[in-house]
């Protein structure tokens, strides 16, 4: 099995071993496109090779310029938030990786009870800020270590809440530099998916509807309770991507994996977590290839026992050798 993203001319290059160093390209006073930037430290799995090109714009103008540069160079674009739901190939990614982490801004509007934030805002930070104001609606989000943009794309959710339920609208930027405002209806939300997944449009901003006017102590306590629960039931002490597989309808993926006797099973330094079988942990020095092979191993075992193929929730980017 080979999985690959939308490769173009440089698909066969091994970015991890090729040593061509190219000077950064100055897009504007505050925005540089750098070559061969390691992505391992930018993913929660802590694995993955370099981006051929990497940029982290702070403004809409620089985002537009980044897309324009990729278009003029004819290279593919990969969008990166906090990297908490990504498995990036050890060989790296061709083309331009656009990271949204520096797109930061938050505004709580007491008139409407809506919070508007830029794509790079960390979801847990937003949850705590809402709780401190006594605004209910984001308590579930506190343990999800992604950005607001990633949450809109993934329809991130936990503890019975999810992004699509509170989204008023999302602003997206097309590769041609125009912005669009999309409603939840237009985003075709379902369980952990949206129309934006695998597409080229970048979420720049989103507005959530919350419920102000609660006692902050109550919302803070509820938020803390969710975080404590997660820390006691999920392995937060080692690098992972959270749940690796989507939950099929009848049983949870974790239950199926556990019943297949795979807890603790290891390939290289990647391990099925003892605490939660839908987590794969990087126990130190794991490669993306170890994790990829472990994912395939789980899929095969579960299929043999349950006649059911587990679909990954994690986004697998770049080239992988057949498992």
Ligand X SMILES: Cc1cc2nc3c(=O)[nH]c(=O)nc-3n(C[C@H](O)[C@H](O)[C@H](O)COP(=O)(O)OP(=O)(O)OC[C@H]3O[C@@H](n4cnc5c(N)ncnc54)[C@H](O)[C@@H]3O)c2cc1C
Residues of this chain that interact with ligand X (CB under 6 A) are 44, 79-86, 100, 119, 144-147, 149-151, 153-154, 156-158, 192, 196-197, 202-203, 236, 240-242, 315
Nearest to 315 by CA among 171, 201, 192: 192
d(CA 54, CA 39): 9
Strand partners, 80: 99
In 5-46, beta strands by DSSP E: 25-28, 31-38
Which lies closer to ligand X via its Cβ, residue 150 or residue 212? 150
Least spacing, CB of residue 215 vs ligand X, in Å: 26
- Count of alpha carbons within 13 Å of 79, Cβ hemisphere only? 25
Least spacing, CB of residue 143 vs ligand X, in Å: 6
Q: Which two tokens stand for residue 289?
A: 């290839």
Which lies closer to ligand X via its Cβ, residue 119 or residue 126? 119
Least spacing, CB of residue 203 vs ligand X, in Å: 4
Least spacing, CB of residue 89 vs ligand X, in Å: 14
The sign of the dihedral angle between the CA atoms of 145, 149, 153, 159 is positive
- Contact call for residues 5 and 78 (beta carbons, < 8 A): yes
Least spacing, CB of residue 36 vs ligand X, in Å: 20
d(CA 291, CA 297): 10
d(CA 298, CA 281): 14
Residue the block writes with tokens 């490769």: 7
Least spacing, CB of residue 172 vs ligand X, in Å: 7
Which lies closer to ligand X via its Cβ, residue 156 or residue 167? 156
From the CB of residue 232, how many other CB atoms can be counted at a distance below 10 Å?
9
Which residues are catalytically annotated? 192, 243, 313
Cα 55 to Cα 58, 107, 178, 179, 283, distances in angstroms? 10, 25, 19, 20, 29
Which lies closer to ligand X via its Cβ, residue 92 or residue 150? 150
Least spacing, CB of residue 259 vs ligand X, in Å: 22
In the DSSP assignment, the letter for residue 30 is T
- Contact call for residues 246 and 191 (beta carbons, < 8 A): yes
Nearby residues of 156 by Cβ (< 8 Å), 6 or more positions away: 123, 141, 144, 146, 150, 162, 163, 192
Which lies closer to ligand X via its Cβ, residue 107 or residue 231? 231
Which lies closer to ligand X via its Cβ, residue 16 or residue 316? 316
d(CA 88, CA 97): 12
Which lies closer to ligand X via its Cβ, residue 212 or residue 239? 239
């Amino acid at each position: 099995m080979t999985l690959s993203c939308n490769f173009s001319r440089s698909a066969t290059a091994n970015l991890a071993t090729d040593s061509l160093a190219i000077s950064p390209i100055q897009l504007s006073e505050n925005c540089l496109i750098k070559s061969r930037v390691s992505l391992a430290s930018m993913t929660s799995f802590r694995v993955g090779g370099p981006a051929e090109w990497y940029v982290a714009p702070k403004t809409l103008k620089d985002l537009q310029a980044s897309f324009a540069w990729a278009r003029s160079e004819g290279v593919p674009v990969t969008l990166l938030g906090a990297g908490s739901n990504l498995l990036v190939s050890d060989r790296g990614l061709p083309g331009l990786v656009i990271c949204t982490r520096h797109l930061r801004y938050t505004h709580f509007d007491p008139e409407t009870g809506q919070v508007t934030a830029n794509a790079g805002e960390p979801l847990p930070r937003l949850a705590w800020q809402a709780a401190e104001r006594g605004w209910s609606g984001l308590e579930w989000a506190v343990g999800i270590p992604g950005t607001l943009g990633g949450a809109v794309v993934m329809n991130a959710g936990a503890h019975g809440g999810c992004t699509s339920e509170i989204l008023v609208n999302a602003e997206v930027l097309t590769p041609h530099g125009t912005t669009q405002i999309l409603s939840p209806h237009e985003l075709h939300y379902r369980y952990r998916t949206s129309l934006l997944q695998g597409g080229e449009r970048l979420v720049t901003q989103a507005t959530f509807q919350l419920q102000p006017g609660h006692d902050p102590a109550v919302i803070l306590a509820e938020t803390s309770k969710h975080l404590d629960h997660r820390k006691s039931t999920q392995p937060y002490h080692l690098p992972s991507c959270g749940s690796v597989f989507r939950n099929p309808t009848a049983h949870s993926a974790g239950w199926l994996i556990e019943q297949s006797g795979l807890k603790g099973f290891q390939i290289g330094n990647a391990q099925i977590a003892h605490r939660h079988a839908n987590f794969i942990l990087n126990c130190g020095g794991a490669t993306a290839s170890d994790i990829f092979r472990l994912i395939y191993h789980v899929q095969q075992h579960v299929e043999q026992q349950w006649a059911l193929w587990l679909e990954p929730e994690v986004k697998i980017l770049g080239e992988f050798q057949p498992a």
